[in-house]
Structure 1
Amino acid sequence: MLKLNCIKNILKVSSILLILLQLSCSQYKKRENIIVASAGKIESLDPAQANTLRTLQILSALGDTLYKINKEGNLSPSLAKDLPKVSKNGLLIDIPLKENISFHDGSIFNAEAMAFSLNRFRKIGTLNYLLNDKIEDIEVKGKFLLRIKLKKPSSSLASLLTSVNLTPVSPDSYSNYKDSFNNKKFVGTGPYFLESFNSSQQIIKPFKNYWGEKPLNKGINFINYSNSSTLFGAIKTKEVDVLISNSIDDLQRLTLNNMAKKDQLKSGEGDPIEIGYITFKSNKLPLENKVVRKALSYTIDRELISQQVSFGTREPLRSIVPPQLHKKEFKPWPKYNPNTARSLLKTEGYCGTEILSIPLTFRSNVPADKLLALTWRDQIKRDLSDCLEITLNGIESTTVYKQLSEGAFEAVILDWTGAYPDPEAYLTPLLSCNELNNNSCLKGEAVFSGSFWGDKKLQELLEKSEELDGENRLNNLIKVEKLAAQGGAYLPIWLVNPKAWSLKDISQPEFSKDGLIILKNLERD
């Protein structure tokens, strides 16, 4: 009987071990794909509509662009066979294309397909002004030769052609979407194809017929969580393999950095591409007054805000272009100086019995916005309460974006990431104006940015920069930013580096020059 019980116990233990082994194998199989997590849902995979980093991140793995910016910061052919060939008058750009490249649906990538994609973007793209302001026409000169006819010479066009928004899509698969967005599908030429899509999870698998370097992994599950705490918990409990830093609370970001320092995680960081700033509506008093806006530019202690809001992880910024894009140190906005601010406000009749009140709107679903707003308000109470007060109003970000161009906000906290790594990708979306009345912008990107501010000389310099190259062009764009600083319609606050953390058995995340993780380089040990 004792022997029988012993045998039974051995069988029970063996059964449990077998079950655990099967579960382990099952879990391993489930984690064959690398799970990458970020915040927020992805509602559309159409490159003509994409305007969030999380969407651009997955599109960068599903598609290719004509050119990329390499590690040295130079233009490098991708789908293009060679660098653009520009005519003597600067109005014609010929782009030879690589051959033997296919879309995920099996159709051939050629000049017709590239022209279809660019024209489709020009027609329905959310950022179509990027092309329409420059391009007169797109011609197919040969099966693998594309010609772009410009309205006027444009030195920025080559950099623009690195934008993920301009990744080509298959004309066969998008024949019914020439004039509308194809939100739930994507058919491109990239290293991965889209296996499944919903707004909370996207699964991509290596494309066997990919023309370039193959992915080092067997696929990516791209998961979108609703908030920072869920993201933070998922990487700590190893539910996900890689965590992208967008929308992670700064305290949690600091904790993850410390875990990486202790060798509990791996981490990777890209060049800073996201700027945080405050927009002032400049077409209505009191912020129509340039002296008042100038005074406000002296009222913000960026170093204090960086420490109190982000524990130093967000770098104080005194420009509206990431510094590395100017290739030199450049800080046209003034440092914090409450005494100068007070003197300027006094010249306009404020201080003492007359207090200037500024309503500041922050995006209620962006944690750093609220902390920034509270810190600035308390700093003003401490140093300038005799002249200025800040009142706060939290509104969900989607509503903020919808109402910006309606002039709904006196002052609002925003952020911006350029569509491609070039100063113009920051200056034009904030400053460009097509119709001016003195310094009030009536039509143009300055309206959509919520500032309604423009400057004739600035517009001339922006246009002139398109005729210049190299150092001359960068110096001209620096003049543009100096005028923007003098105008005071924007108040830059901080600069954010894209960052990602991975589990110990996953390779260190690598970033491209446009601030996106190179997903195909992620590898499980």
Structure 2
Amino acid sequence: MKKSALVLMTLAALAGTSSLALTKANAQAGDGVLTVATIGEPPSLDVMQTPTDIVLTIDQHIFETLYTYDAEWKSVPLLAASMPTLSEDGLAYKIPLREGVKFHDGSDFDAKDVTASLKRWMTINSKGKQVAGVVESIAEDGDHAVVIKLKSRYAPLLATLSQASVILPSEKIADTLTEFVGTGPYSLKERKPDQYTQLVRFDGYKSPEGTPSNYAGKREAIAKEIRFVPVPDANTRVEGLISGQFDFADSLPVSAYERVEKSSNAKPVIFKNAGWASMNMNMKEGLLVKKELRQAVQAALNASDMMLAAFSDDRFFSVDASIFPEGSFWHTEAGVARYGEGDPEAAAKLLKAAGYDGQPLRLMTSRQYEFHYKIGEVAKAYLEAAGFKVDLQVVDWATLTTRRADAKQWDIFITHSNFPGDPTTINTITDTYPGWYVSDQKTKAVATYMDATTDDAKKTAWDAIQTVIYDDAPLYKVGNFNGVSGLANGVSGYEPTYWPHFWNVSPKK
């Protein structure tokens, strides 16, 4: 397909300092190069300090954690040799480490690297700081094991050790990293801000064993080089993909699906359950401090119609009352209530029981996420059909995030999230997240979860938490949405994941 000169110039500028640089990069593809168009420039490569999606996507090829997530989003060993051994009181975790693993600088991976890295993580990372509050000590147990002692039981520990808590050589650790040395299948060769981040195969890499499963299992650096190119404009990513400039393009608009599908150079890729949309309610001030009114909101809404309006085609979404999607270890129907096609009569009864007097319900959304806006439009119609008076406030995303911090300014805001590895890290469960979900039964249910030391106990405790969430009604889960990306024809072995990864991927010939 022919492209305009402007598009060609834009793509060339993004990949290098000239069109010659871009042509050279493409020529190298036959030598085993993958060119990946990302949503933008990473602010840093220090994932401990800046654990954003783009940083996690790039850094997972360079650095590794003790544990990682399998297809069920359960934590399984990566640099750890096996699952930890727990003391009888559940307060001490002994973690054996894999032997024979080397860093990119040729040094051996050992327990000193783990203790030094985790201490840095607990100092500068937001989740690491939470863990620091319950950690009594981290110590080496010989060269190939570490022991983490806790002040109190903390069920999410392994999940937090599966993301951003990367292991660095102890000699390279500093407040501000100047060398980015890991144990991953690729090492950093060059980073040119706003042009590319270039990774090259680490020939000394020692892979974990096992069948690939999400981020777990065997990792093979098939491509000799991966070049991550920041392309902030989604349409430019589409153009570059279908023209053959890129081997992979991340986060494409669903409207581009057919265009990519009909192109001769690429195919669209759907990543199911990339995240979920929700309507979060203000429990601190205003109309919805009454539980009956929050439950009336739940009863009034039609999840299918909202998701269809937002995403146009059921290839791009699913409606599921469980907070976690099917296939996740945490998927459950426990406690589900007031979720489905909308029941205006049931909602009206709850309104009457709560003594609703016609006060406007302030529903805040943004057009910067168009699917948020479309969800808001349909929600307004269903809420009004049930008897609410609705004030739909459409603002830019920056304004929304500012206003939602002030409990006096809103009743509901629309947002979206990914599915975390541990359910207690969902934003809404946090007492201080806008909405201020505080209840005695939630506190009790979360405490039971935190005390759990086995997967079965955690799952049972999570069932109880979801039951409490549906009863307290701090939010309405609208549905799950799928992510769309694009892959060049001839590239093989790619499996969609939340943070796209390119080990086990063969470049086009």
Shared fold per TM-score greater than 0.5: yes
Aligned partners of 1:210 and 1:193: how far apart in 2? Answer: 10
Which of 369, 379, 394 is 2:372 aligned to?
369
What corresponds to 1:345 in structure 2? 351
Q: Which residue of 1 aligns with 2:310?
A: 309
Distance 2:444 2:60 in 1: 34
In the alignment, is residue 467 of structure 1 matched against residue 451 of structure 2? yes
Structure 1 position 193 matched with structure 2 position 191:
no
Deviation at 1:372, TM superposition (A): 2.1
State which of 351, 360, 364 in structure 2 corresponds to 1:357. Answer: 360
C-alpha separation in 1, matches of 2:365 and 2:223? 40
Output the CA distance in 2 between the equivalents of 1:24 and 1:281: 53
Deviation at 1:27, TM superposition (A): 4.2
Does 2:278 align with 1:295? no
The aligned residue for residue 490 of structure 1 is: 475
Instruction: Give the 3 Å change call, closer, same or farther, for CA 228–378 of structure 1 in structure 2.
Output: farther
Residue identity opposite 1:477 in structure 2 = W
Secondary structure of the structure 1 residue equivalent to 2:431: helix
Following the alignment from structure 2 to structure 1, what is the Cα–Cα distance between the partners of residues 146 and 404? Answer: 38
Specify the alignment match of 1:117 in structure 2. 117
**Matches of 2:41 and 2:59, distance apart in 1:** 14
Q: Which amino acid aligns with 2:362?
A: P
Q: CA deviation at 1:255?
A: 5.0
Any residues of structure 2 matched to 1:263-412 within 5 Å, and which?
265-270=266-271, 272-310=273-311, 311-312=313-314, 313-323=316-326, 324-330=328-334, 332-334=336-338, 335=340, 336-350=342-356, 354-380=357-383, 383-384=385-386, 386-397=387-398, 400-401=400-401, 404-407=404-407, 409-412=410-413
Q: What secondary structure is seen at the aligned counterpart in 2 of 1:105?
A: coil
Check 1:166–1:401 CA distance in 2 against 1; reply closer, same or farther (3 A cut). Answer: farther
Q: Helix, strand or coil: the match of 1:298? A: helix
Partners in 2 of 1:490 and 1:81 — Cα distance? Answer: 40
Q: 2: distance between equivalents of 1:240 and 1:147?
A: 45
Say which SS state the counterpart of residue 308 (structure 1) adopts. helix
Q: Match for 1:210 among 205, 209, 221?
A: 205
Q: 1:322 to 1:364 in 2, by over 3 A?
A: same
Matched AA of 1:341: A
Distance 1:328 1:318, change over 3 A: closer
Cα contact 2:322–2:333 (8 A) shared by 1? no
**1:458 maps to 2:452:** no
Indicate the residue corresponding to 1:174 in structure 2: 173
Unaligned segments of structure 2, at least 5 residues: 1-21, 208-218
Say if 2:104 and 2:202, in contact at 8 Å, map to a contact too. Answer: yes
CA distance in 2, matches of 1:523, 1:457: 51
Deviations 1:277-311 (A, max 9, x none): 12112110112122221111123211112222112
Shift of 1:518: 2.9
Identity %: 19
After superposition, the C-alpha distances for 1:307-331 in whole angstroms (9 at most, x for unaligned) are 2211221212424333423254457
One-letter amino acid of the counterpart of residue 228, structure 2: F
Residues 330 and 228 of structure 1: CA distance in aligned 2, closer, same or farther (over 3 Å): farther
Corresponding residue number in structure 1 for 2:55: 55
**Residues 321-373 of structure 1, C-alpha deviation per residue, up to 9 Å, x if partnerless?**
334232544572422212222222233344xxx53423333344323222222
Count residues in correspondence. Answer: 467
Q: Report the equivalent of 1:481.
A: 466
Alignment match, 1:78: 78
Q: 1:225 to 1:167 in 2, by over 3 A?
A: same
Q: 108-117 or 132-141: which moved more?
A: 132-141
The residue correspondences of 1:25-64 to structure 2 (distance < 5 A) are 27-29=26-28, 33-64=33-64
* Native 8 Å contact 1:361 1:394 kept in 2: yes
**Residue 520 of structure 1 aligns to a residue in which SS?**
coil
User: In structure 2, the residue corresponding to 1:28 is in which secondary structure?
Assistant: helix
Instruction: Answer whether contact 1:185 1:194 (CA < 8 A) is retained.
Output: no
Decide which moves more: 116-125 or 318-327: 318-327
Structure 2: how far apart are the matches of 1:51 and 1:24?
Answer: 32
What is aligned with 2:152? 152
Residue in 1 that maps onto 2:247? 241
1:501 aligned partner: 486
Q: Displacement, 1:203?
A: 1.9
* Structure 1 unpaired stretches of 5+: 1-22, 432-444
Q: 1:221 to 1:359 in 2, by over 3 A?
A: farther
Aligned mate of 1:219, from 220, 225, 230:
225
How far apart, in 2, do the equivalents of 1:222 and 1:24 lie? 16
1:228 equivalent in alignment to 2:229 = no
Pairing 1:520–2:497 present: no
Find 1:446's aligned residue among 423, 426, 431. 431
Change (3 A) 1:72 1:457: closer
User: Superposition pairs for residues 88-107 of structure 1, below 5 Å?
Assistant: 88-107=88-107
Q: Aligned residue for 2:108?
A: 108
SS across alignment from 2:446: helix
TM-score (norm 1): 0.80
- Which AA in structure 2 matches 1:371? K
Residue in 1 aligned with 2:5? none
One-letter code of the match for 1:196? E
Q: Specify whether residues 508 and 367 from structure 1 end up closer, same or farther in structure 2 by C-alpha distance, changes over 3 A only.
A: farther
Alpha-carbon distance in structure 1 between the residues aligned to 2:414 and 2:451: 33
Residue type at the aligned position of 2:437:
W
Question: In structure 1, what residue type is equivalent to 2:376?
Answer: A
Q: Which structure is larger by alpha-carbon Rg, 1 or 2?
A: 1
- Tell me the distance in 2 between the aligned counterparts of 1:269 and 1:118: 35
Greater shift, 79-88 or 458-467, is seen at: 458-467
State the one-letter code of the partner of 1:466. Answer: M
**Deviation of the 1:219 alpha carbon:** 1.4
TM norm structure 2:
0.83
1: CA distance, partners of 2:285 / 2:446: 25
Q: Alpha-carbon deviations, 1:142-198, whole Å to 9, x = none?
A: 1221100012234442333222x11112333332x1xxx54x863221111222332
SS at match of 1:272: strand
